[in-house]
Structure 1
Amino acid sequence: MRNALPIDAVVGDYVQLANGGGSQLKGVCPFHDEKSASFYVHPGKGVFHCFGCGESGDTISFLMKIEHFSFAEAVERMAGQANITLRYEEGGYSPRHQQGERTRLVEAHKVAAAWFQEQLETPEAEIGRNFLAERGFDADAAKHFGVGYAPAGWEHLVRYLRGKGFSDKEILLGGLASQGQRGGLIDRFRGRLVWPIRDTTGEVIGFGARRLREDDNGPKYLNTPETPIYKKSNVLYGIDLAKKEIAKSGRAVVVEGYTDVMACHLAGVTTAVATCGTAFAEDHIKIIRRLLMDTSQYRGETVFTFDGDAAGQKAALRAFEDDQKFAARTSIAITPGGMDPCELRLAKGDEAVRELIENPVPLFEFALRSAVARHRVDTPEGRAAALEEAAQIIVKIKDRSIQHEYAVQLAGLLGILDEQFVVRRIGQLARWQRDNPQQARGAQLSARRIEVQAAAQPAVPVYRLNPKDPAQFVERELLKLALQHPDLVSPAFDNYGDEEFPTPPYAAVRAAVRQAGGAAYGATLPDFTAVVREVCPDDQVRRLVTELTVEPIRTRRAADAIYAGEFLVKLRLQAVDRRIAEVRAQLQRLGNRSSAEEMNAVQSELWALQQYGQGLRSRGFEGL
C-alpha cells in the first residue's frame, strides 16, 4: 500500500514542488513556518525529509502527520484514491463499522453532498434556483461547484444518512445534525442553499449554507461547526479547484464569499478562494504559501478583493497586518461602486472581473491611502497627523529600498514637496523602534488595545468640533442657515454633497437634511427642524441639529440671501481647494512613471478646477 500512489502525487496535493536537483523535488515545508524551501521529496524512494524541522517519512507517515490520521485512516485514504478494495481481518470486505472515524465522517459528507445536489432539482428548491439565477449562475455552474439545497424539514438528511448506514453519533460528530430539544437529532441545514467545502485533495469536509427565506431567523450564512475533519481556520473554499492554477500562475486571489469564488472562476479567474466564516488569518497564509512555493527564490502574488465599503476596507487592513508574513507580493483590488465580484460580473460581465484582478493596488499603498484619507491634508495640522499615522505603516516594511520608495510616495499623497523631510522622519521612527524595541512594542500593544476597545463600542462617530477652525465655521454657519432659514439657501444647498462637509458630525447633519427632503422642501414647512430631527440616525446627531437650530446666525445684520450666498460660495471653494491639493499630490506621485494620456487627464482636471475656483472668487454666487 505504501507504493500504491507516488509520494510526489500525494504531497503535491498540499505543497507545490519544484526541481530540487538530481531526482529530488523540493518545496515549502507544510510542518513548520519557513522562508526558504527545505522540504525535499524523493519520488524514486518514496520518502520525504525536511532539513529545517527534521520531519521525514514515507507516504503514509506524511498523510498521518498532515491530516492527523491514524495509520488505518491513512491507508484508507490511499486505497480510496488508488481504487483499491481493502480486506479487513474480521468479517469480509470493507465493513463500515471497522473503518477509521475520519474516513467515516468524510464518507458521510460525500453522501450528504450528493443528496443536497439532488434536492436542488426538487420543486421546493425553486427559491434556491432563483437565487442562483439572479446572480448569473445556471444549472451547469451549480453542478460544477456542487451547490445543493437542504429541504426545510427537521430530519430529512438525518433519516437519509441513517438509511445509508451511518450512526447518530457519526452524524452528530460530523456537524451534519444537532441535538433537538426532545433529545433526537435534527438537520443542521434546513431550507437553505448549500455549498460543499472541500480540502485540498477534493474531499468534502464541511458545508456553508445561505439563508433564503425571510422567516428564517438564523444567520445569513451558517457553516459546519468545528469537527474532527473541519477546522475553519485551516480551510479555504474553492482551494480544490484553484490549487493547480495557483501553483501554475504564481497568483492566488482571496475573495469574501462563495458566490464571489463562483463568479471569479466562471469569469476565468480560476485562482480564487475564500475563507469559510472567519477572517483571513495566519493558517490561511500557510496554505497559500505552500501552493505558491512562496520563498525568497520563488515569489508569488496574492491579491485580496474586498468590498469598497468601510467593512471591506477594515478587512483589507487586517490582511495588511499579516503582510510581513508573506514573502510573496500582496495587493488589493477594491471593487468599483462597492460591488463584490459576483455583483460586478452580473453588472458588467466577465471581462470586468478579470480587469479588476489584473489591476490591483499594492497592499502597502492601500494602507497608506487609507491612513491619509482619515485626515484633512489641506491643513498643516491634518498633514502632520496623516504623516505620523502613515509613517507607522512604512516603518513596518522590512525591505529598506521599498520603505524608501513608499516614503517618497507618502510625500506625494500629502502634497509635501520636500520629499527628504518625509524620508528623514520615517528614518527617525525606524531607528527609534530598532533602538527601543520594548517601548515600540508597548506603544503598538496600547494602540491595538485602543482599537479593540473602540471596536467593542457602538459605532457612534466621535469627533471634537473646533469652533475656532475657519473651515469648520463655514460648514456650521451654512448648516444653521439650512435649518433656520432654508428658503435663503435653496435650491443651491440641495446640490451640495455630503463630501463637501468633511467634518463628520456636520456631514451627518447634512445627510439628515437631505433625508428630510432637502432645504427646498424645508422652505415650505413652518418647522423644518422638527422633520430633520425625526430622521436623525441617533441622539448625537439629533442633539447637534437642535444646537444648530438655536444658535444665532453670526451676522450683525439680519440673515439674508446675500449672507447665505457668501457661505454657499465659501463652502464650495473649500471643497475645490481640497480637490486641487489632492490632484497636485497625484501629479507629484505620478511623476515620470505614467503614460502621457494619464498625465494629461490629471492636468486637465487640475486646470478645470483652478478655472472654476477663480470664477467663484471673481463672480461669487453667480459662479456656482
Structure 2
Amino acid sequence: MSDQGFMMSAEERRRLLDANAAAARYFRRELLRATNGWPVKYLQSWGVEEVLSTDSAWKVGYAPGTWTNLVDHLRAQGFGFGTLVRAGLVTWTEGGDAVDRHRDQLMFVARDQRLSPVGFVGISQGGHARTVSPVTAAHRPSNVLVGVEEQLKLLENGAIPVVVDRPVDAIAISAVSRLSSGRWVGIPVCGAGLSTAQARMLRRYSTTDQVIVALSGDEPQRNQAAGYLLDLAFFFDRVRAVGIPAGYTPASLVLTDGGPGHLRDVLSAARPLMTYRNTVSRRIASPALDSDPPDRGPGL
C-alpha cells in the first residue's frame, strides 16, 4: 500500500514512475527547443536562464499550451491511457477524449523520499508556483520536494538547505552556492508550506545539522515561513532564519548592483531563530536590538 492509502503493486509503481519520467523528459525537450515566448523570458527576467543550458543540474521543462501533444507522445512510447490517468498526466473531457492535464506551464519534477519522479510543480504565466499534479497512488503534495535531486552532490558535501518559497529563488541560491564553495542549496516549498514529512525528507538527504529559513514578502508571508521552525526543529539541531531585505527576493538580490555577492552576504548573516510567527519579522528587521544568542541549543 502506498503512503496515500492506495493499493499499489511494485509493477504499478514502476509504470507510474516511468510515465512521469518520460513526461519530464518531454517537458525538458520542449523548453530547450524554445527560443522565445514567456517561459524563456520569465527565466531570463529572474536571472536564472542557466537552466536553459543542456548541462544544467536543474532539468526544468515546459508543458506546451496544446491539448494532446503529451498524450500523443507518451502513447507512442507504449503507455496506456489508464497508466497516464493514474499518473496524473492525462484527464478525460466530458466528451470522452484524453487530453493533457498540464498546459502552458514551466514544469519542475516533484520527487518522493526515494527521489523518484512522482509529480510536478508548475509555474504559470503570472509567475505563481503550485503543485499541479493531483493526489495519486504515488504522489501526495505534502510528501514530495523539488530541488533535492538536482542539488544532491552539494547536500552530500555539507551544503546547508535554505527553505524558500519560489523555485527561481532556489535556483538563484544554488548558483550562488556553486560560486561560494557549495555552502547552500535552495529548497522551494512553492506556496504550500512545509510539512513534517518534507522536513524529514530534507534531513534525510542533508549531511549538516543546520537549516536556514529565508523570510521574505509581507509580514504574513514571513510569519508563515517562520512557522516552519516547529517541523524543522524535530530533525535539525540548528534552525536559522535570514531576513531578505524588504522588496526583494533571493533571486532579485542577485540582479542588484551587488550581484551574487549581495545574496551571499545576506545568507551568511543567518541567525538562530529565537522566536517565530508574530514576532519574527520585527526581530529580523531589527537585528541590532537582538542580543547574540548561544551558538547552539536544542531546536535552535
Short-chain TM bin: 0.7 to 0.9
Is 1:286 the equivalent of 2:200?
A: yes
For the pair 1:102 / 2:16, whether they are aligned, the reply is no
Higher strand share: 2
Residue 157 (1) aligns with residue 67 (2) = no
The answer to whether structure 1 residue 350 and structure 2 residue 264 are counterparts is no
Alpha carbons of 1:324 and 1:267: their partners in 2 closer, same or farther (altered >3 Å)? Answer: closer
- SS of the aligned residue for 1:110 comes to helix
Q: Which one of 165, 179, 187 corresponds to residue 256 of structure 1?
A: 165
Partner of 1:149: helix, strand, or coil?
strand
- TM-score norm. by structure 1 comes to 0.41
In the aligned structure 1, how far is the partner of 2:8 from the partner of 2:246? 52
Distance change in 2, residues 1:146/1:589 (3 Å): closer
Q: Tell me, yes or no, if the aligned pair for 2:51 and 2:60 is still in contact at 8 Å.
A: no
Q: Are the counterparts in 1 of residues 147 and 186 from structure 2 also a CA contact under 8 Å?
A: yes
Q: Aligned ranges for residues 564-575 of structure 1 at < 5 Å?
A: none
Distance 1:340 1:126 in 2: 24
Alpha-carbon shift at residue 129 of structure 1 (Å): 1.1
Could you tell me which residue of structure 1 aligns to residue 298 of structure 2? none
Q: Is the 8 A contact 2:196 2:232 kept in 1?
A: no
For 2:174, which of 265, 276, 283 is the aligned residue? 265
Indicate conservation of the 8 Å contact 1:125/1:149, yes or no.
Answer: no
Deviation at 1:370, TM superposition (A): 3.5
The structure having more radius of gyration, on CA atoms, is: 1
Per the alignment, residue 514 of structure 1 pairs with none
- Taking a change above 3 Å as real, the CA distance of residues 368 and 224 of structure 1, as seen in their structure-2 partners, is closer
Q: CA RMSD in A?
A: 3.4
Aligned partners of 1:160, 1:72: CA distance in 2, in Å? 25
Q: 1 or 2 for the larger relative contact order (CA 8 Å, sep ≥6)?
A: 2
Q: Distance in 2 between matches of 1:246 and 1:121?
A: 27
Task: Tell me the equivalent position of 2:124.
Answer: 211
Q: How many corresponding residue pairs? A: 283
Identical columns (%): 24
Return the letter of the residue paired with 1:363: L
Q: 1:223 aligns with which of 132, 145, 158?
A: 132
Structure showing the higher helix proportion among its residues: 1
Partner SS state of residue 120, structure 1: helix
Secondary structure, in 3 states, of the residue corresponding to 2:138?
coil
1:161: how far off? 0.9
Contact 2:240 2:272 in 1 (8 A): yes
1:258-337 mapped onto 2 (5 Å cutoff): 258-268=167-177, 269-276=183-190, 278-292=192-206, 300-322=209-231, 324-337=233-246
C-alpha separation between the residues in 2 aligned to 1:182 and 1:126?
31
Q: Which runs of 5+ in 2 are unaligned?
A: 178-182, 294-300
Q: Structure 2 vs 1, CA of residues 323 and 137 (structure 1 numbering), >3 Å: closer, same or farther?
A: closer
Q: Which amino acid aligns with 1:149?
A: Y
Provide Cα deviations, 1:231-271, integer angstroms capped at 9, x if missing partner.
21111111113344334326322111211111111111542
The amino acid of 2:172's aligned partner reads A
Secondary structure of 1:271's counterpart equals strand
Question: Using the alignment, how far apart are the partners of 1:123 and 1:351 within structure 2?
Answer: 31
**Relative to 1, partners in 2 of residues 1:362 and 1:208: Cα closer, same or farther, differing over 3 Å?**
same
User: Whole-Å Cα distance in 1 between the matches of residues 233 and 130 of structure 2?
Assistant: 31
CA distance in 1, matches of 2:50, 2:206: 32
Q: 2:45 aligns with which of 121, 126, 134?
A: 134
3-state SS of paired residue (2:169): helix
> Which amino acid in 2 is paired with 1:129?
V
